[in-house]
């Protein structure tokens, strides 16, 4: 049944925010945060539990050991593209650090534990819930941008909560600060029709442009195979950023999903069009499948995931780790703050300057690095690049070699393009200069 807009909305304006009260609260909050005592309650102790069964697992082999392998070592290929439009709040380089905190964990406490300031903090709420004024003020005090995953009550329903949404947008706009709104993210098994979903998204975008113009609008997908051609994608004109959930539960056989591999098809589809948010990232260290803690493997995987983001996915511009209790059918635990080893791994993973602690100023459109669906190899002391990349250069003379059933060319024989190689990151950079692949 088509969704109907409530007519009574047109008869009244959304309630206005009391600026005086907000200003007094904000001044008080900022003043208290400068004092020697903490305004926020201490982080709770880990919940009591039965003695844990800790799985002993071998750590991943060192990069040097892998590099000495006799077989071809795969390298990602990044190529330069020109005139890529930058979205609102998109940095020229790097990715913002973000976190979705567990109940009871405060922003100052989490940043102290992680050892680095975060640019974005996330929360989830429904249209019609009380506006999170205190949480917003705490975000301001932490000098962080709020990210709100804003869901509609129910999947479709017969009435769109127009009054409540207008009130929320108005309240958010009164704060006049950069923010991210992930509007009406769909979940597996939803019963919305594409036409209804797109209509609501586009209508909400207009409303936020009117009442909260500093909010970046985010379209979220739970399916990593989604493309801009999806009937549920609202269109580039109303989407500022796109986001994808990437969770890796862990079992006795290893990780259920490989996060970089899970991200790759979605990234390939959207990298030219929109900056990408990982929302949330989660690496499992416990599951009720067998009630075994696998902390060492999770620690190694957290570092690997963040390394992949900074090495191979340059247009992932915001990474939000999910420290809250994400609900899964098997009770997987993706949290960081309950295990010291995971916090240590997270501190190591985010220490690089690639991960940014504050929102960047507006950027001009320009060059950007795109991830090629093809790849290269380092083999017997040489860099090889997939021959298919050079389909428009058939008149060129290449030195070729067959590797794993495909034709590759040596980088040295591609002398009309500037090529740089980062062996530590296993990335080949191709400075095309024309934006073509």
What 3 state SS string does the chain have?
Answer: CCCEECHHHHHCCCCCCCHHHHHHHHHHHHHHHCCCCCCCCCCCCCCCCCCCCECCCCCCCCHHHHHCCCCCEEEEEEEEEEEECCCCCCCCCCEEEEEECCCCCCHHHHHHHHCCCCCEEEEEEECCCCCCHHHHHHHHHCCCEEEEEEECCCCCCCEECHHHHHHHHHHHHHHCCCEEEEECCCCCCCCCCHHHHHHHHHHHHHHHHHHCCCEEEEEEECCCCCCCCCCCCCCCCCCCEEEEEEEECEECCEECCCHHHHHHHHHHHHCCCCCEEEEEEEECCEECCCCEECHHHHHHHHHHHHHHHHHHCCCEEEEEEECCCCCCCCCCECCCCCCHHHHHHHHHHHCCCCEECCCCCCCCCEEEEEEEEEEEEEECCEEEEEHHHHCCCCCCCCCEEEECCEEEEEHHHCCCCEEEEECCCCEEEEECCCCCC
**CA neighbours closer than 13 Å in the CB half-sphere of residue 72:** 18
- Residue 395: pLDDT band with limits 50, 70, 90: low
Contact 37, 194 (CB under 8 A): no
pLDDT of residue 94: 93
Domain count, the chain: 2
Q: Decide if pLDDT at 327 tops 80.
A: no
Burial 168-178 (b: 16+ CB within 10 A, else e): bbbbbbbbebb
Give the CA radius of gyration of the chain.
Answer: 24
Where among 362, 383, 411 does a domain terminate? Answer: 362
Could you tell me if residue 388 is inside a domain? yes
Task: Tell me, yes or no, whether 273 and 254 share the same domain.
Answer: yes
Q: Decide if pLDDT at 63 tops 50.
A: no
Task: Tell me, yes or no, whether 280 and 404 share the same domain.
Answer: no
For residue 216, give every residue at least 6 positions away whose Cβ sits within 8 Å of its Cβ, in sequence order, or none.
87, 88, 89, 178, 179, 180, 181, 240, 241
Contact 390, 398 (CB under 8 A): yes
Task: Tell me, yes or no, whether 354 and 396 share the same domain.
Answer: no
Query: Residue 102 and residue 105: Cα distance in Å, rounded?
Result: 6
Contact 378, 76 (CB under 8 A): no
Task: Tell me, yes or no, whether 117 and 248 share the same domain.
Answer: yes
Q: Are strands 241-248 and 179-183 parallel, antiparallel or unpaired?
A: unpaired
Q: Decide if pLDDT at 142 tops 60.
A: yes
pLDDT of residue 132: 97
Burial 359-398 (b: 16+ CB within 10 A, else e): bbeeeeeeebbbbbebbbbbbeeebbbbbebeeeeeeeeb
Mean pLDDT of 379-400: 85
Contact 262, 246 (CB under 8 A): yes
Task: Tell me, yes or no, whether 72 and 107 share the same domain.
Answer: no
Could you tell me if residue 10 is inside a domain? no
Where among 362, 380, 412 does a domain terminate? Answer: 362
Task: Tell me, yes or no, whether 92 and 115 share the same domain.
Answer: yes
Mean pLDDT of 340-349: 97
Q: Quick: pLDDT tens for 13-30.
A: 444 444 444 434 443 443
Task: Tell me, yes or no, whether 124 and 194 share the same domain.
Answer: yes
pLDDT of residue 424: 82
CA dihedral 186→188→189→193, nearest 10 degrees, is 40
Query: Residue 428 and residue 421: Cα distance in Å, rounded?
Result: 5
Q: Which two tokens stand for residue 436?
A: 């073509």
Q: Quick: pLDDT tens for 111-136.
A: 999 999 999 999 999 999 999 999 99
Lowest pLDDT segment from 44-53, 98-107, 266-275, 306-315: 44-53
Average pLDDT over the chain reads 83
Q: Identify which of 139, 110, 122 has the alpha carbon closest to the alpha carbon of residue 29.
A: 139
Could you tell me if residue 54 is inside a domain? no
Contact 180, 146 (CB under 8 A): yes
Task: Tell me, yes or no, whether 330 and 403 share the same domain.
Answer: no
Query: Residue 270 and residue 230: Cα distance in Å, rounded?
Result: 12
Q: Decide if pLDDT at 171 tops 80.
A: yes
Contact 33, 141 (CB under 8 A): yes
Mean pLDDT of 250-261: 93
- Residue 189: pLDDT band with limits 50, 70, 90: confident
Q: Quick: pLDDT tens for 29-62.
A: 434 333 332 222 222 333 333 334 444 343 444 4
pLDDT of residue 198: 95
Domain that holds residue 233: 88-362
Q: Are strands 73-84 and 366-379 parallel, antiparallel or unpaired?
A: antiparallel
CATH of the domain at 348: 3.20.20.80
Neighbours of 287 (CB within 10 A): 20
Mean pLDDT of 351-367: 84
Where among 362, 394, 409 does a domain terminate? Answer: 362
Task: Tell me, yes or no, whether 186 and 77 share the same domain.
Answer: no
Task: Tell me, yes or no, whether 231 and 320 share the same domain.
Answer: yes
Q: Quick: pLDDT tens for 306-318.
A: 999 998 999 999 9
């Amino acid at each position: 049944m088509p969704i109907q807009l409530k007519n009574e909305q047109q008869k009244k304006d959304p309630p206005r925010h009391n600026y005086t009260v907000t200003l007094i609260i904000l001044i008080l909050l900022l003043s208290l945060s400068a004092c020697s005592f903490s305004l926020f309650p201490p982080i709770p102790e880990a919940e009591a539990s039965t003695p844990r069964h800790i799985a002993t697992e071998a750590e991943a082999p060192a990069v040097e050991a892998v590099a000495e392998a006799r077989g071809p070592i795969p390298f990602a290929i990044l190529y330069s593209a020109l005139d890529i439009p930058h979205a609102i709040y998109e940095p020229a380089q790097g990715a913002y650090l973000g976190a979705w905190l567990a109940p009871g964990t405060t922003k100052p406490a989490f940043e102290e534990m992680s050892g680095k300031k975060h640019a974005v903090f996330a929360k989830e709420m429904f249209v019609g819930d009380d506006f999170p004024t205190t949480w917003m003020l705490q975000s301001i005090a932490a000098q962080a941008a709020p990210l709100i995953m804003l869901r509609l009550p129910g999947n479709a329903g017969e009435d769109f909560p127009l009054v409540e949404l207008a009130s929320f947008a108005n309240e958010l706009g009164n704060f006049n600060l950069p923010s991210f709104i992930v509007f009406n993210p769909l979940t597996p098994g939803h019963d919305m029709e594409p036409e209804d979903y797109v209509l609501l998204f586009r209508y909400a975008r207009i409303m936020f442009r009117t009442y909260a113009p500093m909010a970046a609008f985010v379209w979220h997908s739970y399916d990593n195979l989604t493309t801009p051609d999806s009937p549920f994608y609202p269109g580039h004109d109303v989407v500022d950023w796109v986001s994808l959930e990437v969770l890796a539960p862990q079992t006795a056989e290893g990780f259920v999903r490989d996060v970089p591999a899970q991200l790759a098809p979605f990234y390939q589809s959207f990298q030219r069009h929109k900056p990408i948010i990982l929302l949330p990232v989660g690496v499992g260290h416990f599951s009720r499948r067998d009630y075994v803690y696998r902390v060492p493997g999770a620690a190694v995987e957290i570092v690997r995931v963040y390394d992949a983001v900074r090495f191979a996915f340059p247009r992932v511009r915001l990474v939000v780790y999910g420290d809250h209790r994400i609900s899964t059918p098997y009770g997987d635990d993706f949290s960081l703050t309950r295990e010291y080893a995971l916090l240590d791994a997270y501190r190591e993973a985010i220490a690089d300057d690639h991960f940014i602690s504050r929102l960047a100023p507006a950027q001009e459109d320009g060059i950007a690095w795109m991830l090629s669906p093809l790849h290269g190899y380092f083999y017997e002391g040489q860099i090889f690049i997939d021959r298919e990349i050079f389909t428009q250069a058939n008149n060129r003379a290449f030195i070729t070699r067959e590797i794993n059933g495909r034709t590759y060319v040596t980088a040295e024989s591609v002398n009309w393009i500037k090529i740089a190689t980062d062996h530590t990151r296993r990335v080949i950079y191709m400075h095309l200069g024309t934006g073509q692949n």
